């Protein structure tokens, strides 16, 4: 037990040093770990005065198991705390999703409030976004983290994230509190392979954002 604790302490210490010094390797591994997860919790509050928060009651249930199997319908607009793969922050989120089997229609618009660089433009990762956008299949980029309200093609998260599995639900109480709650839980098991390659200093997906030694953007 003591040996396990010492080993874990050493590992966490080294990981902390690498992250603190801006090591690109640690940042890329961190991003690939984050790509495994998709979690969002949101509220829909009544519009009060000039409150800029969009409001549409959250209604529905939607399940997707890879980009080839969808079931359900959900519509909502509200304020979220999101962990959307390597994107993280608070956003306004407006979405309508309808799906049955392989057919689906998705429209998502997000307004970033306090987010990391992956969920907004005009920062050091613009070159990375352009790089993954150029690696498109049809209208689908390799990875998409910024949603502007356009009707999305198939692989709306990007073709690299085709194996994404998630469930999202919205519930609205219209009488007393007039409060809506939205929850999304998801993961991408295929990203575990990309994480393993990343730990071995390999990047077959071409989604690493930082240079190995100095942590500067690659693109």
Rg value, the chain, Cα: 19
Q: Residue 102's CB: how many other CB atoms inside 10 A?
A: 11
Please determine, for residue 49, whether its predicted confidence score (pLDDT) is greater than 60.
no
Q: pLDDT by residue (tens digit) across 150-190?
A: 887 789 999 999 999 999 999 998 888 878 999 999 999 99
Q: What's the rounded Cα separation, in Å, for the pair 106 and 73? A: 10
Please determine, for residue 194, whether its predicted confidence score (pLDDT) is greater than 70.
yes
Please give the C-alpha separations between residue 77 and each of 11, 95, 123, 180, in angstroms, as whole numbers.
42, 6, 26, 10
Q: pLDDT by residue (tens digit) across 90-114?
A: 999 999 999 999 999 999 999 999 9
φ and ψ at residue 21, rounded to 5 degrees: -90, 0
């Amino acid at each position: 037990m003591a040996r396990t604790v010492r080993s874990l302490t050493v590992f966490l210490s080294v990981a902390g040093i690498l992250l603190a010094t801006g090591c690109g390797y640690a940042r890329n591994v961190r991003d690939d770990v984050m790509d495994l997860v998709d979690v969002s919790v949101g509220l829909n509050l009544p519009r009060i005065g000039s409150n800029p928060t969009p409001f549409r009651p959250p209604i529905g249930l939607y399940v997707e198991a890879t980009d080839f199997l969808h079931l359900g319908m959900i519509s909502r607009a509200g304020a979220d705390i999101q962990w959307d793969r390597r994107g993280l922050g608070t956003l306004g989120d407006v979405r309508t999703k309808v799906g049955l089997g392989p057919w689906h229609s998705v429209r998502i618009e997000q307004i970033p409030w306090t987010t990391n660089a992956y969920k907004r433009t005009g920062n050091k990762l613009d070159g990375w976004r352009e790089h993954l956008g150029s690696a498109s299949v049809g209208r689908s980029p390799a990875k998409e983290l910024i949603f502007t309200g356009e009707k999305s093609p198939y692989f709306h998260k990007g073709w690299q994230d085709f194996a994404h599995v998630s469930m999202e639900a919205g519930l609205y109480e219209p009488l007393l509190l007039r409060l809506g709650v939205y929850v999304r839980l998801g993961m991408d098991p295929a990203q575990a392979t990309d994480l393993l390659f990343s730990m071995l200093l390999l990047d077959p997906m071409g989604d690493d954002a930082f240079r190995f030694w100095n942590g500067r953007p690659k693109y």
